[in-house]
Amino acid sequence: MKPLLRLWYRHSPQLFISELLEKRWMEPIVPFILMCVVFLIFIVSIPGYTSLIQLQQLMRSFPEQAFVAMAMALSILSGGIDLSVAAVFAMANFIALYLLQVLGLPFPVAVLGTLLWGACIGAVNGGLIAYGKTRPFLTTIVVLIIVRAAYNKLTAAFALELASGYADSPVWDFVGVGLIWGIPVNMACLVVIGIVAHLYLTRIRSGVHIMAVGSSRKAARHAGINVKRSLFTTYVLAGMLASFAGLLYAARLNSAGTDTGVGWEINALAAAVVGGISLDGGRGTISRALMGAAIIFLLINGLVQLGTHGSLTTATIGFILLAAVGFNIKFVKNKGKILQKIYVSPSYVEFTPPASIARDSGSVFAENDRLKDVEAVALDRIEGPEDVILDQDDHLYTVNRNGSIIRFLAPDYQEREEFARIGGRPLGLALDRDKNILACVAGMGVYGVRPDRTVFKVAEQTNRTWNRLKDDSRLWLADDLDVAPDGKIYFSDATTRYDLSDWALDGFEGRGNGRLVCHDPATGKSRTILKNLAFPNGVCISHDGMAVLWASTWLCRIYRYWIAGERTGELEILVDNLPGYPDNINRASDGNYWLAFVGLRAPVYDLAMADPAFRSRMVKQIPPDEWLCPGLNYGCVIKFDDAGSVLESLWDPGAESHPTITSMREHKGYLYIGGLENNRIGRLKLPAADKEWTGWESYWGKKRRDGRKDQTAAAGEGGTHVARS
Amino acid sequence: MSDTAVPSARAGGYRPNQAVIVLGLTATLFVLLGASLPGFLALGNLFTLIRGVSILGILGLGMAVVVIGRGIDLSQIATLAVSAAIAVTLVNSGMPVSVGLAIGLVIAVVIGIANGFLISVIEIPALFTTLASTLFILGVTRAFVVPHYQVFLEPGHETFLTLGGALDNGLPMPVVAFVLAAVALHLFLSRTVLGRFIYAHGDNAQAARLSGIATRPLTMLEYGICSAFGYLGGAIMVASTSLIHLQIAESTMIFDVILVVVLGGVSLVGGRGNVLSVVAGTLLIGVLLNAMTILNLDLQTQDMIKGTVLLVAIMADSYFHPRDEETAKQGD
């Protein structure tokens, strides 16, 4: 039963749904599904609906409505509305026929004339709305009435000439009935112009300006966009799109009836809204407008083909519009809320009771007071030194919450200076062979600072997991790193589902959301070497350079991953069932390793980890400040060796000076202690330690204990050190 | 915008009420037409004039309630046509006139409330809701209740027809109804708590909600009132002509109603204007329509002239009531 439970919670459908909801392409999912459903229903209920001729017929009559819908969508995206599109369309139809058939002008002139008409009426709309500051809705309704009346008058006046006229133009006929590779010409036009319009709105400056004005007029003005000109352009373009539709209509049907384009503005508005284009402007795409237009078109067309009573068709359309839009509005509005409720999806983690930490228990973890009287360095002059490191000149480097690397100068560490500013939230630090400081920066990746203080990027992405919905190619929460003898940088990306501010939520999940990544400076590429790790935190290369030790915070384990020698690629648990949540691991001078406990385990929280349903109820139903959390307010550092046995522990029982210890670094007989939320760096004298030992010497200098004899010989300078020792 | 911040400075201290301007304009037009058009000032023509626009005025009163509450009801004419047609059908089938009319009223109000529900609870934009509900109610009615476009009131319902007749002194009933409706609505909007709430709702819906007004039921009330006035107009229409034509729902009549409302100064931003605005707008349109009828202009030309007037009115509105486009909402 338990393995099943474990499996269920590990691949919970909740996880899938929450990551699905996060995708941006989920926004128009309702209109898209509606379109497919409508199409499918008619395929099933109308025989021969998908025959070639029928499809060509559909494609021939769709583009005109689609263009009108596009014109409408454009105006809505700019934050206004253009209800005159249908009347402009009808008038353009008349003008095209008039120019070609009555006046007998050549085809290009007719096209230009028709488009000119659209541009002119668009200029009237745009001029009034942008420069006359009139309201788009009313203005375009009035233009609709006037143009419609003029159209009716003109078609009545020229009825005879239009009926008897004939355009002797093969191009005209081709536009009307021609096919390009089996696709009607006007459909081809729609595809081309649709793509152009999409690129215009997303890539071209003036198009992007239209979207900006629609999103927020004020912000657009503040950004220096000429709001009035953008609006003017919008209506001119909308007019031209509508008149182009009129041209296609004229070519296809050669008639100007009294009902041409009547009510199309309503269909177009419906198309835009059903497609999910927000009436508030600025939100939507051309593809959504076309999707909406397709829904309306297929619906009307299909219902007519089914022989439905005309008025029932109308009623159905009205009903479907209301239902679809209502659902869409509620869906878009509540998507965030749903996501919030279901995003945290806990998994099943089972613990056994750890070794006792009681003072008189006699275990190696027994509480003591060794950290109680630690000397405070940089008291109140640093905020959140997650990691500390010292260079060969004994200067102390640490990270600050505001995204900078701070240096305290030796010997008394009184003088403070901002060594470099990276941004983000720097966490783990390491020194490479060239004495560059490498830092993991949450939300950004891995960055380096040269001794001359220039900042450089090491890695910001790794390979993406292809079978996962969420794009995890970016480094999400790079936490700690270390450099192997061959120069490769191993670092942990603690979780790919949460930002640093929500890192505790990852704890409620207890799932393997993190990964271990290797960056090879030689190729400049990063590669995920281990994935699905439960909050991989501290990373340390073993003294012999053969393995990476890393701590899994939520599973309370230290793992060893072999990177050299005959066991390369093997992963094993080195220390299991720690009584606290492990954070950074760093080398000790005696060939062992220091490990910081960021918090302590408690029986009740262990119990909660074995009950995922409880944790998801907790996250859903009670406010965050009442959540059951891991006990973070303890201070403890332990030491363990390569065999996985814990040697000693150092405690600050009340955690008055050093709660939430995340890092400790040994340097010349002292241990420097940093914490994620602390206001100081602790400095503890280690009487028995090697007074000459420094971290850099241990990695790159004469204190090295390298197990990779064969490889380091090739590594130049490093090899000579080994030979000397 | 800097120039919208100091509108009073531009207007030079005194800014006449838009309704007053429109009334003045109407009076000027009236004098001009009276001088130039033969037969315009005849008593019969004047009665025809106000009689013709009183239905439009009644519809405008209803629309004004919604517009003051920062909404718009494009389905008013459809509601009118549908509920009146159903009422007439019921009366024709032998139901007592009062019952038939009451059922029609209930249908109209229910449609209005349903619109208000979709707008306030489901939060579909008013413009779209009423557009789509027009399609829906028209389609359903034509498919199931009224198969033909026209419904004639069968003879024998004289009590009903008096609504479209005239009083003993020759005053047409529609005009009386318009005046009564206008007075009633004026009292409601200016003297009752609910009426003031509607203004508050239109002025700043968010502030109204935060100060404890139940804006959702209020929205439903607004649309219900709008439909009820529409139904009153529809009933008078039937009483005057013994016929209801469903095609009016597809005509530009709804725009005439909006025109009447906006002309007089019931701004679409909400919270502005009053019953006087609607009366002023109605009179102006009435004079205009009447003059065009006397001039024997065809319908298209009438539409074009009407449109041009409306365009001028809109430009004047945006000049006198400059709005902040940067905070404006769609549908303004």
A31 domain residue, yes or no = no
Q: Is A182 left (phi over 0), alpha (psi -120 to 50) or beta?
A: left
| Structural domain range at position A447 | 376-691
Question: In this complex, is the C-beta atom of B111 within 8 Å of any C-beta atom belonging to chain A?
Answer: no
Residues of chain B neighbouring A145 (CB-CB closer than 8 A): 252, 255, 303-304, 306-307, 310
B236-280 pLDDT, tens digit each: 999 988 888 888 887 778 888 988 888 888 887 788 889 999 999
- Best to test chain B binding among A145, A234, A258, A334 (most B CBs inside 10 Å): A145
Identify the band that residue B13 occupies on the pLDDT scale cut at 50, 70 and 90: low
CB A49 within 8 A of CB A56: no
Q: Which of A134, A152, A269 sits opposite B318 (nearest CB)?
A: A134
Q: With contacts defined as CB-CB under 8 Å, which chain B residues touch A81?
A: 330-331
Which of B122, B300, B318 shows the shortest C-beta gap to A153? Answer: B300
Distance from the A629 Cα atom to the nearest Cα atom in chain B, whole angstroms: 36
Angle at A708 between CA A702 and CA A709, to 5 degrees: 75
Q: Which residue, chain included where needed, has tokens 């143009």?
A: A147
Phi (first) and psi of residue A433, to 5 degrees: -60, -35
Inter-chain touch B315–A266, beta carbons under 8 Å: no
The partner residue sitting opposite B136, judged by closest CB among A79, A135, A322, is A322
Per 3-state DSSP, what percentage of chain B is helix, strand, and coil (rounded to 5)? 75, 0, 25
Predicted confidence (pLDDT) at residue A720 exceeds the cutoff of 50: no
State whether A149 and B307 contact (CB < 8 Å). Answer: yes
* B63 near A CB under 8 A: no
How many CB contacts within 8 angstroms connect chain A with chain B?
153
pLDDT tens profile A683-701: 999 998 889 999 999 999 8
pLDDT at B7: 42
Cβ proximity of B215 and B236 under 8 Å:
no
Mutate to test the interface with B, among A144, A146, A216, A331 (most CBs of B within 10 A): A146
Q: What is the pLDDT of residue A549?
A: 96
Contact list in B for residue A269 (CB cut-off 8 A) is 127-128, 131
Determine, yes or no, domain membership for A267.
Answer: no
**pLDDT score of B49:** 81
Q: Does B310 touch chain A (CB under 8 A)?
A: yes
Chain A residue numbers touching B140 (CB-CB < 8 A): 311-312, 315
Structure-token pair, residue B108: 């109209």
Distance between CA atoms of residues B114 and A216, nearest Å: 32
Q: Is the pLDDT of residue A313 over 60?
A: yes
Measured between alpha carbons, how far is B112 from B83 in angstroms, rounded to an integer?
A: 11
Q: Which residue is closest to A215 within chain B, CA to CA?
A: B326
Tokens, residue A272: 């835009």
Single-letter amino acid code for the residue at A483: V
Which residues from B are below 8 Å from A79, CB to CB?
A: 330
pLDDT band at A724; cut points 50, 70, 90: very low
Q: Which residue has the tokens 């909600």?
A: B209
Q: Which two tokens stand for residue A379?
A: 């008291």
Question: Would residue A7 count as lying in a domain?
Answer: no
The mean pLDDT of A363-380, rounded to a whole number, is 89
Helices A310-342 & A13-22, crossing angle to 10 degrees? 110
Neighbours of B271 (CB within 10 A): 19
Complex-level ipTM: 0.83
What is the CATH classification number for the domain harbouring A430?
Answer: 2.120.10.30
Answer whether residue A283 shows pLDDT above 60: yes
Residues of A in contact with B302 (CB under 8 A): 149
CA distance A126 to chain B (A): 13
Three-class secondary structure of residue A188 per DSSP: helix
pLDDT in tens, B163-196: 777 777 778 888 899 999 999 999 999 999 999 9
Mean pLDDT (chain A) is 87
Tell me how close the Cα of B328 comes to any Cα of chain A, in angstroms. 9
Q: Do A513 and A381 share a domain, yes or no? A: yes
Residues 6+ positions from A244 with CB-CB distance below 8 Å: A67, A92, A114, A115, A118, A189, A193
User: Which of these, A357, A364, A388, lies nearest to A631 by C-alpha position?
Assistant: A357
* CB-based contact, B300 to chain A, within 8 Å: yes
Given a cut of 80, whether residue A421 has pLDDT beyond it is: yes
Residues A255 and A382 in one domain: no
Q: Cβ of A266 and B304 within 8 Å?
A: no
CA A662/CA A678 separation, integer angstroms:
10
- Inter-residue long-range contacts of A216-222, CB under 8 Å, 24+ positions, other chains counted: A216/A282, A216/B326, A217/A79, A217/B325, A217/B326, A218/B326, A218/B327, A221/B326
Question: A227: nearest CA in chain B?
Answer: B326
A68 with A212, same domain: the answer is yes
Of A76, A134, A216, the CB nearest to B315: A134
Name residues whose C-beta falls within 8 Å of residue B270's C-beta, 6 or more positions apart in sequence.
B67, B68, B69, B70, B71, B201, B202, B203, B205
> Quick one: how far is CA B250 from the chain centroid?
16
pLDDT at B12: 46
Give residue A709's pLDDT.
54
Decide if A71 contacts A65 (C-beta within 8 A).
no
Q: Is B156 on the interface with A (CB under 8 A)?
A: no
Comparing B50 with A549, which gets the higher pLDDT?
A549
Interchain pair A146, B255: CB under 8 A: no
Total of domains in chain A: 2
Cβ–Cβ below 8 Å for A315 and B139? yes
* Mean pLDDT (whole number) for A237-258: 87
Structural fold of domain B15-28+35-320: ABC transporter involved in vitamin B12 uptake, BtuC (1.10.3470)
Task: Say if residues A678 and A402 touch (Cβ distance below 8 Å).
Answer: no
Backbone dihedral angles phi then psi of residue A692, each to the nearest 5 degrees: -95, -10
Beta bridge partners of A477: A442
Considering only CB atoms, B268 lies closest to which of A135, A156, A266, namely: A135
Question: What's the residue count for chain A?
Answer: 725
Rg of chain A over all Cα atoms, to the nearest angstrom: 35
Judge contact between B279 and B78, C-beta under 8 A.
no
Q: At what angle do helices A29-45 and A286-305 cross, to 10 degrees?
A: 20
| Cα–Cα dist B244/B246, whole Å | 6
Sign of the torsion angle spanned by Cα atoms A148, A149, A153, A156: positive
Option in B124, B138, B332 nearest A325 (CB): B124
pLDDT digits (tens, 9 = 90+) for A86-136: 999 999 999 988 888 877 788 888 889 999 999 999 999 999 888 888 888
Same domain assignment for residues A401 and A524: yes
Distance from CA of B146 to the nearest CA of A (A): 11
Within 202-221 of B, beta carbons closer than 8 Å to A belong to none
Q: Which of B122, B314, B318 is closest, CB to CB, to A326?
A: B122
263-292 in chain B: CB under 8 A from chain A? 268
Is a pLDDT exceeding 80 seen at residue A712?
Answer: no
pLDDT bin (cut points 50, 70, 90) of residue A719 is: very low
Evaluate whether B304 touches B45 at the Cβ level (below 8 Å). Answer: no
* Residue A231, min C-alpha distance to chain B (Å): 12
Give residue A282's identity as a one-letter amino acid code. G
* B332 vs A135, A318, A322: nearest CB: A135
- Mark yes or no for CB contact B326/A137 under 8 Å: no
Task: Confirm if B311 and A142 have CB atoms less than 8 A apart.
Answer: yes
Q: Is A723 contained in some domain?
A: no
Nearest to A149 among B135, B136, B303 (CB): B303
Contacts of A134 in chain B (CB under 8 A): 314-315, 317-318
Res A43: pLDDT:
83
Q: Which residues of B touch A321 (CB under 8 A)?
A: 128, 132, 135
Whether B136 and A326 lie within 8 Å, measured CB to CB: no
Mean pLDDT, rounded, for A171-188:
78
- Report which of A709, A685, A580, A593 is spatially closest to residue A633, judged by C-alpha positions: A580
Residues of A in contact with B114 (CB under 8 A): none
Considering only alpha carbons, which residue of chain B is nearest residue A77?
Answer: B330
Q: What is the pLDDT of residue B15?
A: 62
- CA triple A627-A660-A481, angle to 5 deg: 110
Disruptive mutation site among B250, B269, B314 for chain A (greatest number of A CBs within 10 Å): B314
Q: Please state, in angstroms and rounded to a whole number, the distance separating the CA atoms of residues B140 and B138.
A: 6
Write the pLDDT tens digit of every residue in A23-62.
777 777 777 888 888 888 888 887 777 777 777 888 888 8
| A568 φ/ψ angles, rounded to the nearest 5 degrees | -45, 130
